[in-house]
Chain A
């Protein structure tokens, strides 16, 4: 910071109004990201103000991090010390909603829950059933690249974000894509913004394709003794003509964490498979017959709409639930080919057993595993065991063509080791992209793999 702190506050206050510059220490702590606490929080009210703030920050060599509802500040985001937290919650408008066209344009600070209400009034929704849904903002959800169990049927934000506007590190307001459902004009730069944690720019508008609400929903829970058995059921469903909304697998600890005793058939110390479907009564009848057949001799319980929705909302919140269950929770995300789900889960279990670590796993049918290590102590020896387990898991995943990241770990733990170890050869291009979007290094988050 070149200017004195008070001069900076005054200059920024003249851009966004002094009431939107926060310097109170207590407040600043609420914006702490990993080990960095900002010196200022700014609450801009327009795109123009964001442009001016970024230009000011570039000129004064200040670094900043955009923040939404702050629900994911505990994530293992690659960040260096930052001066400013840019609180985007004043930009919370629906800019355009063409319900008849199933398209939507919103500002990033809009809470997901409020958006769900607006879409629900027109019988529509966005398949962003993500963790922290009741607190999260739309912008934070997209910037963090959070996935949803509904990706089984609807894909990820990459598939239904139509375009974006954002402010780059040189203070330019730019756009990519558009607001129509089909568009190949220019490069899809907005795809780079999804999951980039604000490292490339400040998102100021997001255009979505919306979806008609599904018909009635039902859930089916089946349990089995092993990952292999539930993965087998998953495979049979995936290869049938059925089109499930979600397919999720949980190990016994995750079952306990997610549902306790609320789902009878899952409360038996077994692995569980939760599958949900939507449609008319006739269609749901067909699903029920087919799933019973595909489950074979495994026990199966039918969940009505209310129970299925409740079960799914807990699945959505797996990460926060795992984080709550231990002060030292580390959540690893491993993506593998669907046929490798069971061997990967078995391997991860074996590693944890070797290091005497408690764990819980939730796996999406498309091949994503959220694997939570739940150490019971905070001492050096425990941390060492966790680190060694993580290294083995990393080798077991990347060595077999899978992807490995550590989206959550205690802030004082150094999970950088995996960033350095990765064998991917596209990291240098990512760093070059970062320099193009942010030539002055204004944005404190990096593009290194978390």
Chain B
């Protein structure tokens, strides 16, 4: 990047608003994925006007721009794959408006997901999407990736809660998409913008729908001696028409790692557990909790325990949300995938993952959103062993190929980013991808925003690519 450009950015944002020394950029080489890429500089705008000026400078110098929230993403979405400027929204973190009566909020992109829920809890509301990284991840990042989380089974993912966006396009034009009232006229630009992984524009304000907190919540822990019994229970719950607020599964390996770390009271000798939340009106919760417990028992659950109170419920969920951190404590490296399958295919898929682990002699733990068929197999390997690393990538690819063959998808909530771009042709035809690229061109005609993401680069589909230095991955969704 030109010295002149850095000087102009510093003039614009002040010294504290620009990082460009190599040691300062190290942190921004990473997100929560196994990818890395170093930007030329990192800037910290404080307002939409700052963003507009940054975009003008970048456009003038034809430098790539990459938006970044907290860097917790799991697909390399916030990494500057082709260098350029990382636009960190860490200082655009104000909650601009809370409208309790209409259950709306207007926020800047750097607001941390959990902070918004905490700030409206006294009004009986929350922001429903709850990625595992919700204590760190930002709402701007959630919008870019269309993030999910355990409770999106009943409440939907980010796109179901976004009503409007203010965005800055690479042309430096400010666009208002959607509106606080529902049903803005014309095409659903907000809908297509959410989940575009920072390739359409830089989001500078987000209008959100807030959701009432449920009157009652019951958390059940069903313990199994067989993974098949656990997965068959999930399929049965779905087909019986019960939609729990969350339905998560952890296998035996994960349970032991989590228990050692969090001490949540998980049975370390079990083959799998299901962690299930039902919520709503007290009467509904009583009925559904009983129905779920009966289904678990009918599928040979060894025990079904109801969390006694909020503190026990919080502890169980803390265990689930720290499962990936727990994996990091017992293995030098791990690689997490994000495939999705139809829920009825869970038993067969888990069996296939076990076979793949045996084939490559790799331990694979499973912790995932069972209720919506969103898998997160954790493949353990040693980063110092290149063969193990290659095998881990091959194993992950085979899992994803199985998901696709089962009628599923390559990513349920982590995004494509630079991690799964090469897998896109397994799911989409050339014509599909071409149309997507042309839609990107409507907003981002010169591909200045987050280049090198989503679409396959020159690497052939299915080609195994070995990263120079695999690193430890971070918590998953």
Docked Cα-Cα span, A118 to B189, in Å, equals 33
**A187 near B436 (CB under 8 angstroms)?**
yes
Residues of A within 8 A of B281 (CB): 241-243, 279, 283, 286
> By the criterion CB–CB under 8 Å, are B413 and A182 in contact?
yes
Closest-CB distance, B9 to chain A (whole angstroms): 27
Q: Is the CB of B411 within 8 A of A183?
A: yes
- Could you say which of A98, A336, A429 contacts B175, with CB atoms under 8 Å apart? A429
A320: shortest Cβ distance to chain B, in Å?
20
Contacts of A20 in B (CB 8 A): none
B385 within 8 A of partner (CB): no
Q: Does A338 contact B (CB under 8 A)?
A: yes
- Whether the pair B407, A159 counts as a contact (CB closer than 8 A) is no
A283:B283 contact, CB within 8 angstroms: yes
Q: Is B34 an interface residue (CB 8 A)?
A: no
Contacting residues, chain B, for A100 (C-beta < 8 A): 235, 238-239, 343-344
- Complex contacts, A72 vs chain B, CB 8 Å: none
- 1/0 per residue B169-210: CB within 8 Å of A? 000000111011111111111011011100000000000000
Rounded to whole angstroms, the CA-CA distance of A241 and B211 in the bound complex is 11
Cα distance A98–B424 when bound, in Å? 25
The residues of B that contact A337 with a CB separation of less than 8 Å are 99, 102, 104, 180-181
Cα of A448 to Cα of B185 in the assembled complex, Å: 9
In the bound assembly, the distance between CA atoms of A147 and B184 in angstroms comes to 13
B-contacting residues, A169-191, CB 8 Å: 172-176, 178-189, 191
**Residues of chain A within 8 A of B145, CB atoms compared:** 184
Would you give the 0/1 interface string for B91-116, flagging 1 where the beta carbon is closer than 8 Å to chain A?
Answer: 00000000101111000000000000
Contact among A185, A279, A437 with B411 in the assembled complex (CB-CB below 8 Å)? A185
Interface contact B187-A433, CB-CB below 8 Å: yes
Flag whether A328 is at the interface (Cβ < 8 A): no
Kindly state the separation between the CA atoms of A155 and B235 in the bound complex, as whole angstroms.
24
Q: How many residues of A contact B (CB 8 A)?
A: 78
Interface locus among B133-141, B221-229, B312-320, B439-447 = B439-447
CB-based contact B424/A186 at 8 Å: yes
**0/1 string, A36-66, CB within 8 A of B gives 1:** 0000000000000000000000000000000
Tell me if B23 counts as interface (CB < 8 A to partner A).
no
Residue in contact with A241 in the complex, picked from B175, B214, B243, CB distance below 8 Å: B214
Interface residues of A in 387-432 (CB under 8 A from B): 401-405, 422, 424-427, 429-430, 432
Does B183 lie within 8 Å of A185, measured CB to CB?
A: no
Interface contact B175-A436, CB-CB below 8 Å: no
- What per-residue 1/0 map shows which CB atoms of A425-450 lie under 8 Å from chain B? 11101101100110000000001111
Tell me, rounded to whole Å, the shortest Cβ–Cβ distance linking B40 to chain A: 27
Q: Give Cα distance in the complex from A191 to B440, angstroms.
A: 15
**CA gap between A208 and B368 in the complex, in Å:** 23
Interface 9-mer from B47-55, B153-161, B265-273, B351-359? B153-161
**B238: chain A residues within 8 A (beta carbon):** 100-102
Tell me whether A182 and B374 are in contact in the complex, defined as CB-CB below 8 angstroms, given that A158-B191, A241-B212 are known contacts: yes
A374 CA to B413 CA, complexed, in Å:
48
User: Do B340 and A183 touch across chains, with their CB atoms under 8 A apart?
Assistant: yes
Is B342 a contact of A180 with CB atoms below 8 Å? Answer: yes
* A424 and B239 contacting across the interface, CB-CB below 8 Å: no
> Taking CB as reference atom, which chain B residue is nearest A172?
B431
Q: Can you list, as one digit per residue, whether each of A235-246 has a CB less than 8 Å from chain B (1) or not (0)?
A: 100110111000
Q: Which B residues are CB-close (under 8 A) to A195?
A: 187-188
Contacts of A338 in B (CB 8 A): 101-102
Residue A23 is within 8 A (CB to CB) of chain B in the complex: no
Chain A residues within an 8 Å CB radius of B348: none
Asked if A450 and B185 sit within 8 Å, CB to CB, the answer is yes
Evaluate contact between B411 and A422: CB separation under 8 angstroms: no
- Interface bits A215-242 vs B (CB < 8 Å: 1, else 0): 0000000000000000000010011011
Q: Assess whether A188 is in contact with B192, with CB atoms less than 8 Å apart.
A: yes
Q: Please pick, from B175, B181, B242, B415, the residue contacting A426 in the complex, using a CB distance under 8 A.
A: B175
A333 near B: Cβ within 8 Å?
yes
Range of interface residues on B (Cβ < 8 Å): 35 or more
Q: CA of A389 to CA of B242 in the docked complex: distance in angstroms?
A: 48
Contact B101 A192 (CB under 8 A): no
Which of A181, A194, A282 touches B283 (beta carbons < 8 Å)? A282
Residue among B179, B196, B442 making CB contact with A433, cutoff 8 Å: B442
Residues of A within 8 A of B235 (CB): 100
Instruction: List residues 112-156 of chain B with CB under 8 A from any CB of chain A.
Output: 124, 145-146, 148, 152, 156
Nearest-CB residue, chain B, relative to A282: B283
**Residues of chain A within 8 A of B413, CB atoms compared:** 182, 184
Query: A124-155: contact bitstring with B at CB < 8 Å (1 yes, 0 no)?
Result: 10000000000000000000000100000001
A430-B193 Cα distance, complex, nearest whole Å: 12
Residue of B nearest to A199 (CB): B187
- Bound-state Cα–Cα, A180 to B345, Å: 11
Contact across chains for B432 and A367 when beta carbons are under 8 A apart: no
What are the residues of chain A within 8 A of B214 when measuring CB–CB?
241
A185-B409, A186-B427, A187-B195 are contacts. A333–B175 as well, Cβ < 8 Å? no
The verdict on A339 contacting chain B, using a C-beta distance below 8 Å, is yes
Taken together as a complex, chains A and B put the C-alpha atoms of A329 and B156 apart, in Å, by: 38
Beta-carbon contacts under 8 Å, B269-291 to A: 280-284, 287
With beta carbons under 8 angstroms apart, the residue of B239, B439, B454 that contacts A436 is: B439
- Judged by a CB distance under 8 angstroms, whether A9 is at the interface is no
Q: B424 contacts which chain A residues (CB < 8 A)?
A: 185-186
Q: Determine how close the nearest CB of chain A comes to the CB of B439; give it in whole angstroms.
A: 6
Q: How far apart are A184's CB and chain B's nearest CB, in angstroms?
A: 5
Given A174-B435, A243-B280, A335-B181, residue A184 in contact with residue B186 (CB < 8 A): no
Residue numbers in B under 8 Å from A212 (CB-CB): 240-243
Complex: chain A residue closest to B216, CB-CB: A241
Q: How far is the CB of A172 from chain B (nearest CB, A)?
A: 4
- Collect the chain A residues with CB atoms within 8 Å of residue B156's CB: 155, 159
Return B435 CB to nearest CB of chain A, in Å.
5
List, in ascending order, chain B residues with CB within 8 A of A242's CB.
Answer: 281
Give residues 410-449 of B contacting A (CB, 8 Å). 410-416, 420, 424, 427-429, 431-436, 438-443
Query: What chain B residues lie within 8 Å of A187 (beta carbons)?
Result: 192, 195-196, 436, 439-440
The answer to the question of B341 belonging to the interface, with a C-beta cut-off of 8 Å to chain A, is: yes
Chain B contacts for A243, CB-based, 8 A: 280-281
Q: Which of B195, B414, B443 contacts A429 (CB 8 A)?
A: B443
Residues of B within 8 A of A178 (CB): 340, 407-409, 427
Bound-complex Cα distance A34 to B152 (A)? 42
Contact B182 A180 (CB under 8 A): no
In the complex, the answer to whether B192 meets A182 with C-beta atoms within 8 Å is: no
Say yes or no: B280 contacts A181, CB within 8 Å. Answer: no
B29 CB within 8 Å of chain A: no
Whether B284 and A158, one on each chain, are in contact in the complex, defined by CB atoms closer than 8 angstroms, is no
If A176-B432, A243-B281, A335-B181 touch, whether A158 touches B188 (CB-CB below 8 Å) is: yes
Contact between A280 and B186, CB atoms less than 8 A apart: no
Nearest Cβ in chain A — how far from B173, in angstroms? 8
B267 shortest CB reach to chain A, Å: 28
The answer to whether residues A430 and B184 also contact, given A183-B412, A184-B146, A187-B196 and a CB cut-off of 8 A, is no
Nearest residue in A to B182 (C-beta to C-beta)? A335
Q: Is the CB of A429 within 8 A of B189?
A: yes
Contacts of B32 in A (CB 8 A): none
Which residue of A188, A333, A339, A433 contacts B195 across the interface (Cβ within 8 Å)? Answer: A188
Q: Per-residue CB proximity of A360-398 to B under 8 Å, as 1/0?
A: 000000111000000000000000000000000000000
- Chain B residues with Cβ below 8 Å from A427 are 186
Contact of B160 among A155, A286, A426, A430 (CB under 8 A): A155
Q: B396 CB to closest chain A CB, in angstroms?
A: 16
Q: A186-B428, A241-B280, A283-B284 are in contact. List 5 more A-B contacts (CB 8 A).
A: A176-B432, A182-B340, A188-B159, A241-B215, A430-B189
A-B contact pairs, 28 of them (CB 8 A): A100-B238, A158-B188, A175-B429, A179-B407, A180-B372, A181-B373, A182-B374, A184-B145, A184-B412, A186-B427, A187-B196, A191-B159, A200-B187, A239-B101, A280-B287, A283-B284, A283-B287, A286-B283, A337-B181, A339-B102, A367-B181, A402-B179, A403-B183, A404-B185, A422-B185, A426-B186, A429-B189, A430-B189
